[in-house]
Amino acid sequence: MIQFQERVFLGFVIVASLAMAWIASPFYGAILWGLVAAIVFAPLNTRLVRLLKGHRNTSAMLTLMIIIAIVIIPAVIIGSLLIDEALSTYELLQKQPLDVGATIEAARHALPRSAVRLIDRYALGDLGAIQERLSTVLTSGLRVAAEQAVSFGQSAFAFAIGLTIMLYLTYFLLRDGREISVTISARMPLHPLKRRALFSKFTTVIRATVKGSIVVAIAQGILGGVTFYLLDIRAPLLWGVVMGMLSLVPAIGTGLVWVPVALYLLATGDFGRGVTLLLVGFFIISMVDNILRPILVGKDTRMPDYVVLISTLGGMSVMGINGFIIGPVIAAMFIAAWDIFAEDKEIFDRT
């Protein structure tokens, strides 16, 4: 009878937990980023607590103000400028569409004769078909970008609510995070060593992902945008943001932007800007990742590159921008769980 009651109560706990997750699901993005902000800025908050001699409310509020000043306000300003630039670029291209056929023809004339003969031999020189495909891709991409910009503007109220929830949650996680983590850990039906290992891996991966991905993305986006601005390339802010977002995806990176633009400049006879963009892109923009990531991440996380790639792309395809955090975290939890399982199996085999 006692076992039956325990099973019923366990079922009730599971149902209540799932119901709570369902209720909170509309704001899972705000909850996720509040948790990320609290984990990343927890060391700063700890230092402020020490400086303020244990005043946790004041230190949490000061940390929140710092987050708003260095993260939220710049992000909102850049987002508004980005929307204006994306819409103006879309309207300009609607009035003055790109002449894809002329660009391809210019590229053919700029190529060596051997390359042109190779293209013709493999039936790659059908300008009409290529123009139609590229025009379709450009039109679809621009339409999606414009729709997303308009949708973002229309959902400003929902964004404000989500941001408020995120900041509200961040404050309490900064103030009471240690007690909350201890409480949650104590209620998990796991061995204390396993709980500590999983919690440690969770926080480590989030900090490493933010430091090694977001900071590198910001740096590469700024460098790319400034380079486009100095070279007088249209919509430098838009392209800088796109390069920053692409840098979040391992093994793809910013080259998907600056390489085609550089080749376009070379094909249209603008060799000065084309060569400059290739040199800056290869030796400066792309090298930022190789220089900054080891410094920022260090030995925090050691997941194989292919796991990072699959988990990041898979997470973003399933959950959007939130997935680039959730994907690697799930992958890290998967690896940590199997490592613990393997250690337990070795101990069991020896006994």
pLDDT at 339: 77
- pLDDT reported for residue 123: 47
Of 80-89, 148-157, 269-278, which range is least confident? 148-157
Q: Is the pLDDT of residue 13 over 80?
A: yes
Domain's final residue, options 159, 187, 215: 187
Residue 313 resides in a domain:
yes
Query: Is a pLDDT exceeding 80 seen at residue 148?
Result: no
Residue 5 lies in a domain: no
- What's the pTM? 0.69
> Could you give the CA distance from residue 196 to residue 239 in angstroms, rounded to a whole number?
42
Whether residue 127 has pLDDT greater than 50: no
For residue 22, tell me if it sits in a domain.
no
Q: To the nearest whole number, what is the mean pLDDT of the chain?
A: 76
- Domain extent at residue 235: 190-351
pLDDT confidence of residue 246: 78
Residue 124 has a pLDDT of 47
Please indicate, yes or no, whether residues 153 and 55 belong to a single structural domain of this protein.
yes
Amino acid sitting at position 316: M
| Average pLDDT estimate for 13-30 | 87
- The mean pLDDT value for 148-166 works out to 71
Domain boundary among 140, 166, 187: 187
User: Of 35-39, 60-64, 92-96, 97-101, where does the model show the most confidence?
Assistant: 60-64
Lookup result for tokens 């400066």: 284
Does the residue 8 lie in any domain?
no
- Looking at the 3D structure of the chain, how many domains does it have? 2
Same domain, 197 and 321: yes
Q: Residues 138, 65: one domain?
A: yes
User: d(Cα 252, Cα 255) in Å, to the nearest integer?
Assistant: 7
The pLDDT assigned to 61 comes to: 94
Residue 11 lies in a domain: no
- Of 16-30, 132-146, 165-179, 336-350, the one with minimum mean pLDDT is 132-146
More confident residue, 168 or 153: 168
Asked if residues 238 and 249 have their Cβ atoms less than 8 Å apart, the reply is no
Q: Which two structure tokens, joined as six digits, stand for 43?
A: 């060391």
Domain boundary among 169, 187, 205: 187
Mean pLDDT of 157-172: 87
Q: Are residues 197 and 280 in the same domain?
A: yes
At 254-297, the pLDDT tens digits run 887 888 888 878 777 788 888 898 899 888 888 887 777 666 66
> Same structural domain for residues 197 and 273?
yes
Per-residue confidence (pLDDT) for residue 213, from 0 to 100: 75
pLDDT at 5 (0 to 100): 75
CB neighbour class for 311 (10 Å; exposed up to 12, middle 13-18, buried from 19): buried
Q: Are residues 127 and 250 in the same domain?
A: no
Mean pLDDT score, 228-255? 80
Per-residue model confidence (pLDDT) at position 104: 54
Query: Which residue is listed with tokens 């899972």?
Result: 28
